[in-house]
Chain A
Amino acid sequence: MTGDATRFATGAAGPLLAVLRDPARLDGLDLAGWDAVLRQARHENLIGRVADLARRRGLDDSLPAPVRARLDAHRVVTDKQAAEVRWEARQIAAALAATGVRPVMLKGAAYLLAGLPAAAGRLFSDVDFLVPKDRLAEVEGALLAGGWVSDKTDPYDQRYYRVWMHELPPLRHLRRQTHIDVHHRILPETARLRPDPAKMRAAARPLDDPPGIAVPAPADMVLHSAAHLFHDEDFVQGLRDLVDLDLLLRHFGADAGFWPALTARAVELDLAYPLFLAFRHAARVLGTPVPDDAAAAVAKARPDPVRLALMDALLARAFTPDPPGRRRPARRIALFPLYLRSHWLRMPARLLIPHLARKAARALAAKEEDGEVVPIRL
């Protein structure tokens, strides 16, 4: 425990965090140094971020040839995904046009469509957007007509999403095989924090391109990202999501007026605690510059010292990449309570315990069937 905490504090947590904190370190990196950075970055889904940092530092032409090739290979994937997300957003807008609902894009899709640095080199797994809850039936009908279907055919899953969650079961487009998540709340229905999605929708900024789509206002983008990371996640993508927050805060924070607006909005939306954690851990892990006034403005959300120490210890481990080629037990051990916590925050115990029991039973059943060897294509 102490070993990890010390490493965290001294910043010797590994080459990936070192270059994320101080991109100038990329300049003199030799092949072996790149090797270590890229091995960690691959597991954290951050190769694209490293590629973008290298490009911004003007290193493209001086990189060692194998490194250049790997970053190029990754750009092929991220460029393609960005094009797909843009296309999907257009298709969603077209499908919803008749309903008059203007979807508010969330997370990666929002960063991309708003042209933010947080989208550069980022991988996308799905397209998330927010619609009014009282229009859900129409939205779902229009999406079904447009070719999006649900893969969660199990009645338990359907009920789980519809009764307790903040989003519909994930939908997949029949022809394009792309995934979308339709949100109607910021956090689950059953969550302890209750940010009002109507406020976020009202402040959203319509886009000219593609038309019929909006993105959250800057403060709301940060708050949604923080709420998602610290209240609705099992942290498998934890560091990537923290990097998103870092990039959003650095970008919007260049405008001094942004910070007071952000902290006021956090209080208004009942999201001061996730913003407190975001400030604290982005600054610690990635060196995100957070003005003292802004930090002070969310200090009221600071939990009692015992709880804070526990959260800090768990999150420090969750945000620290495994050493190249290894999986650190400390991290996996930390991820489990964080997983439980995310569910705990999501729903009361009388719902949570049966739900986790059911998931565990299903995972065991799936393992039983997993014995057969899947032939590899080549």
Chain B
Amino acid sequence: MSAGIPPAGPDRARAPVRLADLSEAELSRRLRGPGLALPAGPFTVRLTSPLEEIAAGLGLLYGGHPLADGGADDPEGYADFHLRVAPAGGPRRWVRPQVGFFLDGRNPFNLLPAHQAFPMYEWGLNWCIVNLAHQFLIIHAAVVARDGRALLLPGPPGSGKSTLCAALIHRGWRLLSDELALISPADGRLSPLVRPVNLKNESIAIMRAFAPDAVFNRETPDTAKGVVTHMRPPAASIDAAAETARPAWIVFPTFRAGARTALEPVPGPRAFMRLADESFNYGLHGGRGFAAMSRLLRGCMVRDMAFGDLESALAALDGLAREAPAEAAS
């Protein structure tokens, strides 16, 4: 997809390109009115929301993102997802206010307590991608890359993949996504989906200590996953958001307090079944999905990694990446 290019014209010598270029008032105006055109990897979002919390979260975490419409501010502009995060009506608004997430005017899931508006936007967008973007084979995995080669960290919540991902992108790896590996069945490559990194519970304090310069949104307590926050993605990852990467390593992390960090090879068939399990839409793709998954595994070194501390896990992953590059994908 083309990055936004500001429209040339005598009247608009230099339209704002990045979200940070919009004033607070302008950001708020767009969110309340025509909508803000946000990029989300290969997708375009048009978001509206009257909530301060959304404007503040976006300003803090998406400042480096180019506006998807190049700042054109065309209310009729194209978007893959027309989204709205807004307070729910009804008598509850006075007692226990709630927010809803709306895809094109319909809310696909239940309301959440009002203070969860920002995480709800991020989770809701994940929901849209996972349920609609079947042009990709989608695996529940964090993805980071170095020199065009990508490391996938698939795993259920609690495996430590988000923490590892957040740490790796402060140690020279490029962020593709902290949650969703988007694999093109046509060429096997991974599309970046550079968005704020979701952190929860203990990993928040760990990352604050690990990356003291990183920008975090305010913490949201009492969600279904505990306390959550989001971390702003590195500028270099945002600027490389159009560059796809070739999958080279797959590491299934398992965090266990006190464990000694160790990498173990995973036999191909078992890796296949586990990746299929971690995929949101493998079953939908039929024969093409099988071919895409097979190609992914042929092109990757696959390891299990138990780890008990961040530093030794990062060292182990660096070591893996320095080993002979994985055989080229067919």
Contact = CB atoms under 8 A, between A and B. Distances in A.
A378 B105 contact: no
Interface residues of A, number: 34
A74 interface: yes
Contacts of A350: none
B24 interface: no
A39 B77 CA distance: 12
Interface stretch (B53-61, B123-131, B164-172, B299-307): B123-131
Nearest to B80: A66
Contacts of B283: 80
B42 interface: yes
A66 B106 contact: no
B224 A375 contact: yes
A18 to B, nearest CB: 16
Given A35-B77, A66-B78, A378-B126, 20 more contacts: A32-B74, A32-B77, A35-B79, A36-B76, A66-B43, A70-B132, A72-B135, A73-B134, A73-B136, A74-B134, A76-B135, A79-B286, A80-B284, A80-B285, A325-B104, A325-B105, A326-B105, A375-B224, A377-B127, A378-B140
A34 B78 contact: yes
B172 to A, nearest CB: 27
Interface in A175-210: none
Interface in B124-177: 124, 126-127, 130, 132-136, 140
Interface residues of B, number: 38
A72 B132 CA distance: 11
Interface in B61-115: 74, 76-80, 82, 104-106, 109-113
A1 interface: no
A329 B164 CA distance: 49
A351 interface: no
Given A76-B134, A325-B104, A378 B78 contact: no
Given A32-B74, A69-B42, A325 B82 contact: yes
Interface in A130-160: none
B135 A73 contact: yes
B130 A378 contact: yes
A43 interface: yes
20 contacts: A35-B77, A35-B78, A35-B79, A42-B104, A43-B106, A73-B136, A74-B134, A76-B285, A77-B134, A80-B285, A80-B286, A322-B105, A324-B82, A325-B104, A373-B110, A376-B123, A376-B126, A377-B130, A378-B126, A378-B179
A212 B140 CA distance: 42
Contacts of A325: 82, 104-105
B324 interface: no
A373 B111 contact: yes
Contacts of A372: 110
A370 B110 CA distance: 9
A42 to B, nearest CB: 7
Interface of B: 1, 42-44, 74, 76-80, 82, 104-106, 109-113, 123-124, 126-127, 130, 132-136, 140, 179, 224-225, 281, 283-286
B106 to A, nearest CB: 7
Nearest to B74: A32
Contacts of B286: 79-80, 83
A212 B78 CA distance: 48
Contacts of A70: 80, 132, 135
Interface string A18-49: 00000000000001101110010011000000
Given A325-B104, A374-B109, A378-B126, A66 B1 contact: yes
Nearest to A72: B135
A307 interface: no
A327 B78 contact: no
Interface in A326-375: 326-327, 370, 372-375
B80 A324 contact: no
B127 A43 contact: no
B49 to A, nearest CB: 14
B76 A32 contact: yes
A77 B289 CA distance: 12
Query: Which 5 interchain pairs have the tightest Cβ spacing?
Result: A375-B224, A31-B78, A76-B134, A378-B126, A73-B134
Interface in A43-90: 43, 64-66, 69-70, 72-74, 76-77, 79-80, 83
Nearest to A70: B80
A80 B123 CA distance: 26
A73 B179 contact: no
